[in-house]
Amino acid sequence: MPDQALPSMLNTSNSHLSSAFALVTIKDRLPVILVKTLDDLVKCKSKYGNPENDLDDIKSVISEISKLRYELMTNKPFVPLLPEPDAADIDVYNEAVLKYNKADLSWFGAPWLFVECYMYRRLMNITINWYSSSFINVQVYSGFPKLDLFHERKAMGFFKSAKSLVSMCECLEESLLSLESERLYEDLKFYLMCSLWSNEFDLSLKADETELETHTDASQLRLDVRIKTATQMVVDDLDAITSRWPPHLAAASVDHRRTVVLVMDNTAPEMFADLVLGEFLLGAGLAERIVFMPKIMPWFVSDATQFDFDWLLKEALPACGVSRKLAVWAGRWSQRFHEGSFAVELHAFWTLPFGYNELQTRSPDLYCRLTTDCDVVIFKGDLNYRKLLEDRLWAPDSQEDKTTAFRRCFPNFLPPDDGGGRGSQPLLVALRVAKSDVAVGLTSPRLQAVRALDPQWWVKGLFGFAQLLH
């Protein structure tokens, strides 16, 4: 399908809803996120600033973020990013900035996906260029300063959700003690759903809600997951995913290390649920290696980074006083990373402002990694889902639109055959709690029912997708 025949990309004027969620995001949500970021920096000036220069570095960051907020709220032209050492994405962003500025499209006219990505990339650009890298507490982490403008909020979300994480550990321990073949499919569904519903934790959508629901024990958690899955799923391919999963992996060659990739969304507690899912897959023999792909920099407030992994396993879980179980699992997972059954892989593509239809051309190495070296790839969360759909206004209940959208990302994809064969590419899955008004794969009756329940259903962070991408 030629680009001119495709549905429009979301911007502030063409959102599905009368509330125009793209406009709400840019006009209201993004300025609030910047204000909260400024508040956190002001509170933590002495923690992050360099006393040798009278905290001038952190004061400069605060000043530049204030300018950014003013530019956003007054719809000023996009400002090019400043150069950074070894940052290959600066030219990519600045090419887009030039294109939109020439077209007289700024914050309230450019595609929503670019606007959001640009704001977070600009925040990181400010941090890198204005923060004193000579200060002893500032370490360079994978090419970026260790200062995470959102860390305080992430940490609060973890500690407020700690009791629910203990319940997840209890469920995991029960499952690993009784890996019965007749329960395997149901257990796999359960841990996929734990990973999915933990995606409700999102500090960019619910800025004042920093915790998951509290569960007193494993049985309550299992019940809650069952209820949510029965009542709040709008696309439910769980049966197809779980029935294909074990034979799909079994069809891998003998010398191939069966690999499951999680393209991540949020940090703890969602990161914790992803680790639990990975542990179950290894323990149940459904994978031999789990690869986690977080963002290379702080992103969309609560998105997972390499630093978040280290903080969770080395500091947060061992120090959490809610239960000794959390420290025990932190030790086990640290060992898995050491031995290689768990791994983190970083790639700059995940923070580019493009749909995944551009993955093959812009990052052929990553495309090859995902489509030839892996057995299952799980795309987590709303931003990954938006990028899978290019943030376009596809018809939610059109099978043709679903097929077209996903094939634009993986044009040579053939799903596993009915006999459980491996197909030409891995099993591709999306797990998402809807937080934006893009979707495909709903049946017409389900779409009508959920619209009757709440016309704004897809921006509330309540309704789930467990979707095969074929």
Structural domain includes residue 460: yes
pLDDT of residue 321: 84
Most confident of 47-61, 145-159, 277-291: 277-291
Tell me the three state secondary structure of residue 465. Answer: strand
- For the chain, give the mean pLDDT: 89
* Pair (193, 128) in one structural domain: no
**DSSP string of 200-268?**
G--TTT-TT---PPP-SSHHHHHHHHHHHHHHSEEEE-HHHHHHHHHHHHHTS-TTS--EEEEE--B-T
What would the pLDDT profile of 406-432 be if each residue is shown by its tens digit?
999 998 776 555 444 445 579 999 999
Token pair in block for residue 422: 């491996």
* Pair (181, 132) in one structural domain: no
Higher pLDDT, 74 or 216: 74
* Pair (211, 347) in one structural domain: yes
Token pair in block for residue 251: 């069809």
Structural domain includes residue 306: yes
Structural domain includes residue 243: yes
Q: Helices 181-197 and 270-283, interaxial angle, to 10°?
A: 160
Domain boundary (114, 149, 184) is at 149
CB 289 within 8 A of CB 258: yes
Does residue 208 have a pLDDT over 70?
no
pLDDT of residue 246: 67
Number of other CB atoms surrounding residue 270 within 10 Å: 29
pLDDT of residue 418: 47
Token pair in block for residue 235: 């696309």
Does residue 280 have a pLDDT over 90?
yes
Higher pLDDT, 164 or 280: 280
- The CA distance from 302 to 151, in Å, is 8
Mean pLDDT along residues 58-79: 95
CB 21 within 8 A of CB 30: no
Name the DSSP class of 295: B
* Pair (57, 176) in one structural domain: no
pLDDT of residue 419: 46
* Pair (269, 203) in one structural domain: yes
Chain position carrying tokens 């500690």: 159
Predicted confidence band of residue 250 (pLDDT cuts 50, 70, 90): low
Predicted confidence band of residue 290 (pLDDT cuts 50, 70, 90): very high
Structural domain includes residue 210: yes
* Pair (65, 189) in one structural domain: no
Chain position carrying tokens 């962003």: 93
Predicted confidence band of residue 303 (pLDDT cuts 50, 70, 90): very high
How much of the chain exceeds pLDDT 70, in percent? 87
What would the pLDDT profile of 345-364 be if each residue is shown by its tens digit?
999 999 999 999 999 999 99
Number of residues assigned to the chain:
470
Tell me the three state secondary structure of residue 427. Answer: strand
CA-wise closest residue to 441 among 243, 240, 273, 300: 240
CA-wise closest residue to 377 among 441, 421, 426, 416: 426
pLDDT of residue 137: 44
* Pair (140, 199) in one structural domain: no
Structural domain includes residue 161: no
Tell me the whole-structure pTM to 2 decimals. Answer: 0.94
CA-wise closest residue to 345 among 277, 283, 259: 259
Region for 466 from its dihedrals, namely left if φ exceeds 0, alpha if ψ lies in -120 to 50, beta otherwise: beta
Q: What angle do CA 407, 347, 432 make, to 5 degrees?
A: 50
Pairing between β-strand 427-433 and β-strand 464-468 as defined by DSSP bridges: antiparallel
Q: Can you give the CATH number for the domain in which 288 is found?
A: 3.40.50.10880
* Pair (202, 70) in one structural domain: no
What would the pLDDT profile of 210-249 be if each residue is shown by its tens digit?
555 666 689 999 999 999 999 999 999 999 999 888 666 6
Structural domain includes residue 79: yes
* Pair (91, 43) in one structural domain: yes
Does residue 19 have a pLDDT over 50?
no
Q: Which residues contact 24 (CB under 8 A, 6 or more apart)?
A: none
Number of other CB atoms surrounding residue 173 within 10 Å: 14
Give the structural domain span for 91: 3-149
Pairing between β-strand 464-468 and β-strand 233-236 as defined by DSSP bridges: parallel
**DSSP string of 362-380?**
H-HHHHHHHHHS-SEEEEE
Structural domain includes residue 155: no
Order of strands across the sheet that contains 427-433: 233-236, 464-468, 427-433, 376-380, 259-263, 289-293, 342-344
Q: Lowest mean pLDDT: which of 108-122, 124-138, 440-454?
A: 124-138
Structural domain includes residue 422: yes
pLDDT of residue 103: 97
Q: Can you give the CATH number for the domain in which 34 is found?
A: 1.20.930.60
What is the rounded radius of gyration, in angstroms, for the C-alpha atoms of the chain? 22
CA-wise closest residue to 221 among 155, 174, 283: 174
* Pair (397, 439) in one structural domain: yes
CB 234 within 8 A of CB 434: yes
Domain boundary (96, 116, 149) is at 149
Mean pLDDT along residues 457-469: 96
* Pair (75, 201) in one structural domain: no
* Pair (145, 196) in one structural domain: no
Give the chain's domain count.
2
- The CA distance from 52 to 430, in Å, is 48
